[in-house]
Structure 1
Amino acid sequence: MATMAPMALYNQTVDFLSGAFSNNQTHLQFLAVTGASFTLGLLARSVFPRNESSQSVLVSPRSTVLPGISESERRKLPLPADVFPGARDVASPYGSIRVYEWGPEDGPKVLFVHGITTPCISLGGVAHALVDRGCRVMLFDLFGRGYSDCPADLPQDDRLFSTQILLALTSSPISWTGAESGKFCLTGYSLGGGIAAAFASYFPQLLSSLVLLAPSGLLRDSQISFQSRLLYSKGLMPENILAYLVTRRLKAGPLTTPKPKNKKLNAADVLTEELPSQRAAATQVLSRAYPHINIPSTVAWQVNNHTGFVHAFMSSMRYGPILRERQWNRWSRLGGYLTAQNSAPSSENEKLADNKVHILCGNNDSIIVKSELVPDATAALGGNVVFKFYEAGHEFPSTKYEEVASYIFDLL
């Protein structure tokens, strides 16, 4: 390897990490290629000029796309700025946050947190269905997704996301957290499920109920592929090259087939599993104002137009509430709280719904595996958990939204 021409070495490394050698290559071959990243690093300055900007916030399409197009062109975007009612942009030290809130002001409150790839449009079907039932709903785009900016100098971990939840809540014209607010139901999907569980472990007294849809947070270490571990290990390769590789993979769109259940998780699987099939995407209605909106086109547009999306995706993969080894303490803290509440006298019991965490998943989910999730969540939460499974995959909240909404409403 050391005698290869520099550009030949570069091209082989890019092809390898982009999946061109995804057949039966061994771990030793991968180590040989990535070991050459020291040589590759010498090329990085000329092949990928370093960004010397000290910019701390990477702005969303709200600042880079919307100002340059007409109102009619805005309505034709894969993600229009008014895709949901009650849109507002919340200024914060971390950048602007896009929040949507609508429904009866005196109705039961539900806050949604979406996944790693798709902005909050993925939960639009559930949100609309709950408003139909008289609920007040709030959704927001996580940092680096949709129309929310991305802080470039902070890790996307549960601390940052918990802060973002509080910022979204306090931006409401009505109280979501006050003594007379009636508390709210927190519902998180995929990465948002891990975020919601971590938030609930610190602020359970704010919640009336906790619903986790195919949640991350307890993904076993053995589920992550060797290649992905090296690819997302900070410092192994120059960041500008790694960002290029991830961008290239994300722009390629979903895989043609779902991840086999016996295959370990990589970044491509995360992207694919959040996207519904083309058939499902054609039938789902996630936005009442724009019924043609679908998740695949929204994600593709986001990859190409949000300056902070690739950074947010990479940072969430590295630091987000995904792996069991990092999140067990949060889940067990929440379980301890629920156990204590269940043993308290009823007159002193400020219940989190029925003092259970409600976990909804798809039987065919190849990322959140039922046979691992059930024992791990049961143990971490001290048995204070209820499971519901649907005949679907990881994308079920965007395809079975009426069923999910009915389940949540029954809790309220």
Structure 2
Amino acid sequence: MALYHQTVDFLSDSWANRQTQLPLLAVTGASFTIGLLLRSLLSREPEKPPNSVLPSPRTRILTSLSEEENRQLPLPNDVLPGARDVDSPYGSIRVYEWGREDGPKVLMVHGITTPCIALGGLAHALVDRGCRVIVFDLFGRGFSDTPSDLPQDMRLYTTQIMLALTSSPVSWTGADSGKFSLVGYSLGGGIAAAFASYFPNLLSSLVLLAPAGMLHDSHVSFQARLLYATNLIPDNVLEYFVGKRLRAGPLIAAKPKPKNEKLHMRDAITEELPTEVTADAEVLSREYPHLNVPSAIVWQVDNHSGFVHAFMSTMRNGPIFRRTQWKNWARLGEYLSAQNSDPSESLKGQGLPSHKVHILCGNSDAVIMKDDLVTDATAALGGNAVFKFYDAGHEFPSTKYEEVASYISKLL
């Protein structure tokens, strides 16, 4: 899961690596100097009016393309089966749903940088195993619009999940729906855990893939924490530099780092990308088997008017850090402990029949450290967690999707 505190490290690449212990005055002075050099960008944007929506490429780009031109895109309009666009007060939401209508239901939530195509291989593998699957683009990613006047926090994400569910022609939440399994990857793992803490009665199982939510502030570099905490640089300047860094390319996966090394902006950019070895093996879209995550991200940055805003807002407000998410994980843990102690009476059949949260992680994940995750998740969930590890990095759901699908299908 990308870290919002890393976002401004790129602003100081030329000096941060050489002077990591600069005092507050020096950091402030450097930020001010950057502002002077970019004075045309310094004027703060006016407050956005209510119901302000930044459109996705669906309305900005696709309407003027031919079918053949669409097929040549790094992210075609029909990249996954069962596409639908759901109108809402927050803007349009792109949802993909396919698989047996009477099969076990699985809803998946993707990470902060990629559109939902990153989970396309896993979705196809679950459908192959008889499941009914929903994946959707979070606001500001892929073909979903961006509500620019609202923070991208758990309230907004909960609403989006509910909108995706209720737009289905199949019942996902009714008494006869049979409940659904919720799978969250990276940022999506933090979203899924928080959602489950409020609505465990809707779920048959909860699977978290390299989840955000338990990240320590101490893992974040000093300069990034300081600049964000003091708002020394206007948002439009930060958005300019974030977009510039995201467009810089070529994007390559982050290399494993020493355990105690601070996380930087490069980790936020590359964390969900496959390694060069595995990138050629992944098939995320069966309609377009040549597509890959790095190309989709670059196209998204260039063509989605709300992506950079959504990226930054999520890093500031999303379910990422332990200090804000511990209460959600603990609430879920308390529910599971009560369910386990009285499975046949008051809580019977009300949610999460597996009685455990299933957490999957990569051994060489450079962002979600497995040792910290095991310690913190076990404590927050009251021991109601099961862990499995893969010989991979943060990107394993898009490269080891058959193995992950096999694990999930056994729960169903």
One-letter code of the match for 2:235?
E
Shift of residue 270 of structure 1?
1.9
Q: How many residues align?
A: 399
Asked if structure 1 preserves the Cα contact closer than 8 Å seen for 2:105 and 2:132, the reply is yes
Structure 1 partner of 2:20: 26
- Residue type at the aligned position of 2:216: R
User: Deviation at 1:36?
Assistant: 5.1
Whether the 8 Å contact between 1:332 and 1:380 is mirrored in structure 2 is yes
SS at match of 1:77: coil
CA contact (8 A) 2:210 2:368 kept: yes
Could you tell me which residue of structure 2 aligns to residue 268 of structure 1? 266
Match of 1:57 in 2: 53
> Post-superposition shift, 1:258?
1.6
Instruction: For 1:326, give the aligned amino acid.
Output: T
1:145 matched to 2:153: no
Partner of 2:5: none
1:78-93 aligned at under 5 Å gives the runs 78-93=74-89
Match of 1:408 in 2: 408
Q: Per-residue deviation at 1:281?
A: 1.5
Residue 195 of structure 2 corresponds to residue 210 of structure 1: no
Partner SS for 2:285 = coil
Match of 1:378 in 2: 378
User: Structure 2: how far apart are the matches of 1:82 and 1:60?
Assistant: 15
Whether contact under 8 Å (1:232, 1:314) holds in the other structure is no
8 Å CA contact 2:27–2:223 kept in 1: the answer is no
Q: Over the residues paired in the alignment, what is the CA RMSD in angstroms?
A: 2.0
Tell me if structure 2 keeps the 8 A contact 1:232–1:317.
Answer: no
Q: Is the 8 A contact 2:138 2:144 kept in 1?
A: yes
CA gap of 1:85–1:20, structure 2 versus 1, over 3 A, is same
TM-fit CA distance, 1:128: 0.3
Task: Determine which structure has greater relative contact order: mean sequence separation of CA pairs < 8 Å that are 6+ residues apart, divided by chain length.
Answer: 2
| The one of 232, 238, 255 aligned to 1:236 | 232
The alpha-carbon deviation at position 215 of structure 1 amounts to: 0.1
**Corresponding residue for residue 6 of structure 1:** none
Query: 2-side partners of 1:308 and 1:267: how far apart?
Result: 20
Residue 394 of structure 2: aligned partner = 394
In structure 1, what is the Cα distance between the partners aligned to 2:78 and 2:370? 37
Query: Which of the residues 170, 174, 182 maps onto 1:174?
Result: 170
Residues 19 and 289 (structure 1), Cα distance of their counterparts in 2 relative to 1, 3 Å cut: same
SS of equivalent to 1:105: coil
Greater shift in the superposed pair: 357-366 or 48-57: 48-57
Question: Which residue number in structure 1 is paired with residue 336 of structure 2?
Answer: 338
1:135 to 117, 131, 135: 131
Q: Deviations over 1:252-278 (max 9, x none)?
A: 233575251332123320221110013
Partners of 2:78 and 2:12 in 1: CA distance: 35
The residue matched to 1:336 in structure 2 has which SS?
helix
Aligned to 1:10: none
For the 8 Å contact 1:233–1:318, the answer to whether it is kept is no
1:258 correspondence with 2:255:
yes
Name 2:65's counterpart in structure 1.
69
3-state DSSP class of the match of 2:192? helix
* 2:15 counterpart SS class: coil
Can you give the 5+ residue segments of structure 2 that lack an aligned partner in the other structure?
Answer: 1-7
SS in structure 1 opposite 2:127? helix
Distance, in Å, in 2 between the alignment partners of 1:367 and 1:237 is 26
Distance (Å, rounded) in 2 between the aligned partners of 1:143 and 1:264: 29
Q: 3-state DSSP class of the match of 1:283?
A: coil
Q: State the 1:369 CA deviation.
A: 0.5
Cα deviation, residue 280, structure 1: 1.5
Question: Aligned with 1:102: secondary structure?
Answer: strand
Give the structure 2 partner of residue 118 of structure 1: 114
The runs of 5 or more residues in structure 1 that have no matched partner are: 1-13
- Which SS does the other structure have where 1:21 is aligned? helix
Question: When the two structures are superposed, what TM-score results if normalisation uses the length of structure 2?
Answer: 0.92
1:89-111 deviation digits (Å, cap 9, x = unpaired)? 00111110000000000000000
Q: 1:219 aligns with which of 205, 215, 220?
A: 215
Correspondence for 1:201 among 163, 185, 197: 197
In 2: Cα distance, 1:210 partner to 1:15 partner? 34
The answer for the alignment partner of 1:4 in structure 2 is: none
CA contact (8 A) 1:249 1:268 kept: no
| Residues in 2 aligned to 1:173 and 1:305: alpha-carbon distance in whole angstroms | 31
Question: What residue number does 1:288 align with?
Answer: 286
Q: Which moved more, 1:151-160 or 1:179-188?
A: 151-160
Letter matched to residue 104 of structure 1: R
CA deviations over 1:299-321 (Å, ceiling 9, x no partner): 01111110001001101111110
Counterpart Cα distance in 2 of 1:257 and 1:116: 16
SS across alignment from 1:20: helix
Give the AA of the match of 1:318. Answer: R
Q: Which moved more, 1:390-399 or 1:40-49?
A: 40-49
